[in-house]
Structure 1
Amino acid sequence: MIHDEESSNKSDNRKFSEILEAASSRRSFMTGTISLAAATFIAPSLATGATLNNTVGSRGSGENRLRKGGINFEPVPVSAGTGPMPTISSDYEYQVLIPWGTPLESGIAEYTGDPTTRPSAADQERMIGVGHDGMHFFPIEGRNSEGILAINHEFGSNSHVLGKEAPENDEDIRLSQAAHGVAMVHIKRGRQGWKVVTDSPYNRRITPNTPVVFAGPAQGSSAIAPEAGARGTVNNCSSGHTPWGTYLTCEENFNGYFGDNQGTWTPTEEQERYGFSSTGFGYGWETHSSDRRFDLGSNAHPNEDNRFGWVVEIDPMAPDQPPVKRTALGRFKHEGVAIVEGKNGHIVAYMGDDQRFDYIYKYVSSGNWEEMLAEGISPLDRGRLHVAKFNDDGTGEWLRLTINNPILAERFSSQAEVLTYARVAADLLGATPMDRPEWTTVAPNGDVYCTLTNNSRREEPNAANPLAPNADGHIIRWRDSANHVGNRFVWDIFAFAQDTHAEGDERSFSDPDGLWVDPGGRMFIQTDGDQVKGLNNQLLVCSVYDNGGARSMDIRRLFTGVTGDEITGLTTTPNRRTLFINTQHPGNGDPLLSSFPAEPDGVTIPRDSTFVITRKDGWVVGS
C-alpha cells in the first residue's frame, strides 16, 4: 500500500512505548520470546491477574479452544526468496490470475504491459485495476470451484498507470480513477485452472465515480451533506466480510487524492488531523477541469473530503445495488475490518487506523444481527463505536465514542460529527497511540490479533519495543470480556518481528501487515516493507497451538513475491484447499526491476496480479 509518511496525531496521549515499558518490569518472562535453538517462538501467557482465560465468557473453553493446526511443508529458504519472479514452497504450486488489464467483458483487448500504450479510461472501467489488495471469495451455491472474487484496487502511481508523472488532461485523470476502486469478478476452475467468466452478470467495477449511498448515524447530517449524487470509493486497502454474505471494503489513505488547485485553501483542524495537504500524493485529480470534487480550494463540492474514509458494504450477488458507506463504523484510515459474532449474536468489528500513533477501534451492533436483518435494519448501522486504551498492567478499556460523553459533547454537536471526526474524538478520550495498526483477525478461541507494521518515528527504546525507531514491527494480542461485547480486555505482545532476524534463521520477517488465523489455528502473516537478508516480501505460516499452557509457533515461509512488491490480500475457498493472495505494485511499476507476470525483459510494465495457491497433494493450504 502507499503510506502516508507523516503522523497527523498531535495529541499528547501516552505513547504505546511508555505503556509497554511500564508493563515490562513485571513481565520479564517476555524477554527472549524466540527460542532459536528449538526453532520455535514462544509467546507467553498474560501477566498474573490479567489472563486471557478469565475473560472470554461462555465460548472460551471446550470446543472453542484454539485447535491444533500443524504445518508440514518445506519452507522457502532465504537464498531463494529474492529476484524479479515469485518463489513458492516445493510442496506447493501457484497460478497467476487477473493481472491488471484483464477484461471483464468481451470486445476489450487485454492490457499486457506494453510500455508504448495504456488502456483508455473507458476500457479500464471494464477491466481489472491496479493495486490488488484486500479480497474475499464468495462461493456460488457453496462450491469450491466457482464464485465471486471481490478484490480491492488500492492505488496506482501516475508513472505506473499513465506512464507519466502527472496527468496532462481529463482523460488521464479518468484513466487513473478507473484503475482504482473495487472489482467483483466471477471466476471458475476448469481443467486448465481458474479463469474469469467473461460477460458474467456478476462482473462489476466500482470506481471513484460509481454512485454510492450513505447509511447510519451520519446519513443526512451536515457533516457529509449534500449526499445527492455522491460518488466513489478510493484507496481501498484491506477488507472484511459479513455473515450475511456481503463484502466490506475499507478506505484508507483517501486524503492523498485531494489537493488545492486554486491556491486559496486553508486546512481546518479536522482536515489537518486527517492529513490533507495542498498537493496530496501527487495524483493531480484536483486539476480535473470538469469535476472539482477533489479540489480542496473549490466550493463546488462542499464536504467531499468527509465523504471518504469509511467502510463500504457491497453485495457481490446484487450487481445493481449501489455500494453503501456504513458511517456507524467511523471515519478514519481504515486498514481492514475483522467481523466476529459475539455474545447473544451481536456483530463485533475490529479495525485498525493505519498511521503512526493512531488507534485500534471496535464496533458492537446494538442487537442480534439476524434479528436486526429480519426487522430491515443493518447491524452495521446501529451500534457502538469504541477506541482502545491499553493500560500498564496488561488490561485495557474500550472507550465509547458517543455524544453522550460530556468530553465529546463539548467539542461536537452531534453523533454524526463524532463519527465523521472519529480521530479527533479518540484523541479527546485519551486512546493509546499505536505503531501503525493494520490487519486484525480473530482466532477460533476468541483471541484477537493486530499487526503493528512499524514506526520510524519512535524515539525511545524499551523492553517491549527494543528498536528505536521500531523498524520491524510487532503483533499484539488481546481478549475481550463478555465474548467480544464487553468494555474491558487483557492484552500482551504476541511477537516481535526483529526477534526472527538471528543469523541463519530461516523464519526472518519484518513489517507484518496482512494477518489471518484459520479455523485450524494456523496464522498467515504477510509483509509490506524492507525485509532483512535481501528477501522479497513474503507469506509465512505459523502453527499456533496449546502446548502445556504455552503458545508455540513454528514459522515457515510459504511464498515470496517479486522485487519491489507487497504481498497482500488473503482469502480461501470454503474447503481451504485453494488460497488467493496478491502481489501489489511488483517492481514498484519499474520494468527494470520486474516485468511480472511476464518473464523479466526490462521493458514490459509489471502488473499487479492474484496468485492461486494449492498444495500439490491437494490438502488444506497452510498445512
Structure 2
Amino acid sequence: MDRQRRKGSARLSNSSSPSLNELLEMQVSRRHTLRGGLGLAASTVFAGAGVSALAGCSDSNGGGSSNIPSELKFASVPGSNQDNVTIVPEGFNFQILAPWGTPIVGSLPAYAGDGTNTAADQAQQVGQNHDGIHYFPLNDSEKGLLVMNHEYTNSTLYAGDGRQEDENGRPTDVDEVRKDIRAHGVSVIEIFRNGTQWEIDTTSPFNRRITVETEMEITGPARGHELLRTPFSAGTRTRGTVNNCGKGDTPWNTYLTCEENIQGYFVTSDANPPRATARMGINENGFGYFWNAVAGDPSETAGEFARFDVSTGGGWENEANNFGWIVEIDPKQPNLAPKKRTAMGRFRHEGCQPGRIRAGEPIAFYMGDDARFEYLYKFVTADAWNPNNPDPDMLDKGTLYVAKFSVDGTGEWIALTLDNPTLAAEFSDMGELLVNTRTAGDLVGATPMDRPEWTAVDPNTGEMYVTLTNNTRRETPSDDAGENAANPRTPNTHGHVLRLRENGDRAEATAFVWNNFVFGSPASADENFNLSGLTADNEFGGPDGLWFDPRGVLWIQTDNGAPLDYGDDPNDQMLAVIPARLGSDSITAENQAQLKRFFVGPSDCEVTGVIMTPDLKTMFLNVQHPGGSWPLNNGTARPRSATVVIQKDDGGEII
C-alpha cells in the first residue's frame, strides 16, 4: 500500500492484553539480552518444541522439499537510492511484463501514455499498482495464468496533472471516477514462454478483469445477514472488490485476494457511526477518492456511486460491510462469480496463506490485519482435505481464531465463536460476530501487533512466518502503546519478521510457540537496535511481502519508509534466506550472512508479490507505485507499476 496513505491512521483496537512490544520488553528486561531478536525464554521454548531444521522435509503429504538447498548461490546485490534503477545479481536478467494499461481483453485498447485512456479502455486493460501475484500452470512452466491484485490508484491514472475536482477536492468527471473504479481489482492474464522471453496471449479466453463493479457472491455464515443487506441485494450478492493487497492460494487451485484498507473508499457523516463502520476506521474523508461525489449523475445505475456514502439515512448504510473479506477467484472459470468467504472474518486483510497441506487433515489459513495495534488470525477448515474429491466451498465452514502471545515464547489461539460467553453476550449470531471480527478480537484480549501483513509457511518445517512492517506510534515502554515480546522496539521504525510453530505441528492446534526471526535495521545502528546484526549486504526496513518457494527459500520484500545507510529514501528490495538451514536459530550477528539481498527496485516503489513457475526457473515479482519514469527510464514517461520477470542467464533454477 502507498506508504503516504498509511499516515494518520488512529489506533482503533481496544484489547486488554499487552501489545507484542510490551511482551518483548519484558523479555529484554528479564534476560538482559536478545540474540538476533530471539529472547532467551522464547529460544528455549521454541527449541524445546521439537523444531528441527529438516523436520518433515520428506513428508509426501506435507509439501516439503526432499532437497533443501545447501546455500544461496548468488552474491548479495548492493542497496540503492538511485532513480529508476532495477538491480538483480550477476548471472541473472529481467524483463518487464504487463505494466499498468496493457490491453488484455475486448477490443484491446492501447495504453495512452498521456493518461487519456477512458473508463471503457481501463476495463479492458491491466489495472494500476500491482500487488499480490500467483502463477497457475496451464502447461507446467511454459504457459500459465498470472493472477495479480491492483491495490489502489494514484494521480498518474488521469490526464494532465490529476483528476478534475471542485473547490472541495471532490471529483467532477464521471468517466474519470469510473476509470478509477476499473483500475482497481484483479487481473487474470494468460502468459507463455517464447524462447527466453515471456509474452501475453491476448486471445486467451481466460483473460479477465475483476473490478469494483464485478458482481460477487457472498457465502458463509454472514450470507443474507441483515448487516449485509443493501438496495442491491438481500445480503447474498455484492459488487466488487477493492484495495486488493496480499494474496493466498488453495490446493484446489483457486486464488484468494485480500481486501485491505477498505476504509479509504467509503465515507460517513455520522458523528457516532455503527461499530461495524467505526471499528474499520471509516470516516468523512477516506483516502480522498470520494466516488460518492458524482452520485445522481444521469448515467448512474443502481447506486453505483451513491453506495460509497454509508451515512445513516442514505440507504447504503451496510454497503461497507460487504467489504473487508477474503475473496476466492477460480482463474480457470472466467464465467464464475468470485465469492466473498465470510467465515474467514472481516478486517483489513493483508495475506491469506495456507499451512502445510496434508490429505485427511484440516487446513489452516494464516491472516494478518494490516494496521497498527491490530491482530493475527487463522482460519481452520471444519473438513479435512480430500485431494480426490475437493470441496469447492471448503472455506465456508470452519473456525476463526485470533492470536494471543505470552512473554515466555508461548501463545494461544482464541476461537472467535459463540461458545465463548464473552462473545455470546455481545453478538446475537455468527454473522454479526464476523462482520465485527475486530471487535471480537478486542473482547477476547488478542495481542496488538505492529501491522501484521503477509504470512508464509515453511514447507519443510511447517513453521509460519509473519511480517510486522512497522509501528511508529509506539512511544514509550511504559504506556499502553509500548513494547511487548513480539513487538519489542519503541518506536518500531524498521519492523521485523516473527516465526510461529503450532503445537504438534497441527493445523487445528490452539497453542503455539514463537520467536522473532529477524529485525529490520540500518547496518550502522547500535546493537540495541540492530538486534540481528545486519550489514550493508542485507540491511532492510519495512518487511511486507513474504513467500516460501517449494524448496524452503524464504523471500522477504519491503515497503520501507525509514532510513538505511544508502540514503534517507532507500529503494525497496527483496531478500532471501533458507530458514531450515538455521534450525531453531534466528538471524544474528554470527549467521546474518545467510540473509542476502536479491533484488532492488526503482525509486519510490514498493516491492511486493512474488511467485515462480513450477520448474523454479522463472520468477515473477511486482513493482508498485514506482517513481521517475520507470520502467521506460526516459525521463518523460509516466511511471507504471509492472511485473518483473527474472531468469538466470544459463536458464537454471533461481537460487
**Which letter does structure 2 place at the counterpart of 1:583?**
V
Q: For the residues of structure 2 that align with 1:25 and 1:61, how far apart are their CA atoms?
A: 37
SS at match of 1:70: coil
Task: Indicate if the aligned counterparts of 1:82 and 1:560 stay in contact, CA closer than 8 A.
Answer: no
CA contact (8 A) 2:219 2:339 kept: yes
Q: CA deviation at 1:459?
A: 1.4
Deviates more, 1:60-69 or 1:408-417: 60-69
Q: Which amino acid aligns with 1:47?
A: S
Matching residue of 2:455: 440
Q: Which residue of 2 aligns with 1:363?
A: 379
Residues 137-171 of structure 1: per-residue CA shift (max 9 Å, x gap)? 00004x20110001000001245446425422221
Q: Give distance in 2, aligned partners of 1:426 and 1:389.
A: 10
* Per-residue CA distance 1:29-56 (angstroms, 9 max, x = gap): 53356xxxxxxxx998943345364389
Aligned to 1:492: 515
| Separation of aligned partners in 2, 1:436 and 1:386 | 17
Cα displacement (A) at 1:202 = 0.1
Please give the alpha-carbon distance, in whole angstroms, between the structure 2 residues aligned to 1:246 and 1:548.
Answer: 32
1:68, 1:545 within 8 Å by CA — same for their partners in 2?
no
Question: Which residue among 474, 483, 490 is the counterpart of 1:468?
Answer: 490
Q: Which residue of 2 aligns with 1:294?
A: 308
Which residue of the other structure, out of 479, 485, 489, is the alignment partner of 2:501?
479
The more displaced of 297-306 and 248-257 is: 297-306
Match of residue 51 from structure 1: 47
**Number of the residue aligned with 1:37:** none
In percent, how many aligned pairs have the same letter?
A: 40
Decide whether the 8 Å contact of 1:44 with 1:550 is kept in 2.
Answer: no
User: 1: CA distance between counterparts of 2:227 and 2:78?
Assistant: 52
Report Cα offsets for 1:222-246 as digits up to 9, x if no partner.
1212235521000000101000000
Calculate the TM-score normalised by the size of structure 1. Answer: 0.90
1-structure distance, mates of 2:237, 2:401: 31
The 2-side partners of 1:271 and 1:372 are apart by 42
Whether the 8 Å CA contact 1:132–1:608 is kept in 2: the answer is yes
* Partner Cα distance (2:453, 2:335) in 1: 31
Q: Are 1:77 and 2:78 an aligned pair?
A: yes
Query: Residue 224 in 1 paired to residue 247 in 2?
Result: no
Q: Secondary structure at the match of 1:358?
A: coil
Alignment match, 1:596: 630
* Residue in structure 2 matched with residue 610 of structure 1 by the alignment: 643
- Residue 555 of structure 2 aligns to a residue whose secondary structure is strand
Of 131, 134, 141, 2:132 maps to 134
CA positional deviation for 1:60: 4.9
Given that 2:84 and 2:631 are in contact with CA atoms closer than 8 Å, whether structure 1 keeps it comes out as no
Task: Tell me which residue corresponds to 1:308.
Answer: 323
For the residue of structure 2 that corresponds to 1:364, the secondary structure is strand
2:400 aligns with one of 381, 385, 389 = 385
In the TM superposition, residue 543 of structure 1 has moved relative to its aligned partner by: 3.1
Displacement of 1:504: 6.0
Q: In 1, distance between residues paired with 2:239 and 2:416?
A: 27
SS of 2:226's equivalent? coil
1:524-572, Cα deviation, whole Å (9 max, x unpaired)? 1100023512230011112334358645451221111111110001111
User: 1:454, 1:474 within 8 Å by CA — same for their partners in 2?
Assistant: yes
Q: 1:264 to 1:379 in 2, by over 3 A?
A: closer
Contact 1:92 1:615 in 2 (8 A): yes
Secondary structure of 1:435's aligned partner: coil
Alignment partner of 2:539: what SS? coil
1:562 has 2:602 as partner: yes
Cα deviation for residue 282 of structure 1 reads 0.2
CA 1:205–1:224: 2 relative to 1, 3 Å: same
Inter-CA distance 81–159: structure 2 relative to 1 (3 Å threshold): closer
Residues 373 and 217 of structure 1, relative CA distance in 2, 3 Å threshold? farther
Confirm whether residue 329 of structure 1 aligns to residue 329 of structure 2: no
Closer, same or farther: CA 190–45 of 1 in aligned 2, 3 Å: farther
Q: Which moved more, 1:18-27 or 1:469-478?
A: 18-27
Alpha-carbon distance between aligned partners in 1 of 2:579 and 2:614, rounded to the nearest angstrom: 21
Cross-structure match for 1:151: 148
Change (3 A) 1:287 1:335: same
Q: Which has the higher strand share?
A: 1
Once residues 424 and 520 of structure 1 are traced to their aligned partners in structure 2, the CA distance between those partners, rounded to angstroms, is 39
* Contact 1:74–1:90, Cα closer than 8 Å, also in 2: yes
State the match for 2:530 in structure 1.
none
Q: Give 2:422's match in structure 1, choosing from 407, 415, 422.
A: 407
Q: 2:97 is aligned with what amino acid?
A: L
Aligned with residue 555 of structure 2, among 507, 517, 524: 524
Among candidates 532, 537, 557, match of residue 506 of structure 1: 537
Is there any run of 5+ residues in structure 2 with no aligned partner, and where?
Answer: 166-170, 478-482, 526-533
Q: Which residue of 1 aligns with 2:109?
A: 109
Amino acid at match of 1:130: Q
**1:41-86 superposed Cα distances (whole Å, 9 cap, x missing partner):** x998943345364389x975765788344111122213x5522231
Change (3 A) 1:550 1:360: closer
Change (3 A) 1:476 1:521: same
User: 1:395 and 1:470 mapped to 2: Cα distance?
Assistant: 22
CA contact (8 A) 1:311 1:329 kept: yes
- For 1:61 and 1:317, how far apart are their aligned partners in 2? 31
Structure 1 residues 417 and 69: CA distance shift in structure 2, 3 A = farther
In structure 2, the residue matched to 1:244 is 252
Three-state SS of the structure 2 residue aligned to 1:230 is strand
1:16 CA displacement: 1.3
User: Which string of whole-angstrom CA distances, capped at 9 and with x for unpartnered residues, describes residues 74-109 of structure 1?
Assistant: 22213x552223122122110100001100136433
Give the AA of the match of 1:294: F
Structure 1 equivalent of residue 480 of structure 2: none
Q: Write out aligned runs for 1:527-566 (5 A).
A: 527-530=558-561, 531-532=563-564, 533-534=566-567, 535-546=570-581, 550=585, 552-553=591-592, 554-566=594-606
Query: Quick one: structure 1 residues 9 and 120, their matched pair in 2 at CA, closer, same or farther if it must change by over 3 Å?
Result: same
Cα separation, 1, equivalents of 2:217 and 2:252: 19
- Shift of the 349–264 alpha-carbon distance from structure 1 to 2, 3 Å rule, reads closer
Change (3 A) 1:548 1:278: closer
Alpha-carbon contact 2:523-2:535 (below 8 Å) kept: no
Q: Secondary structure at the match of 1:498?
A: coil
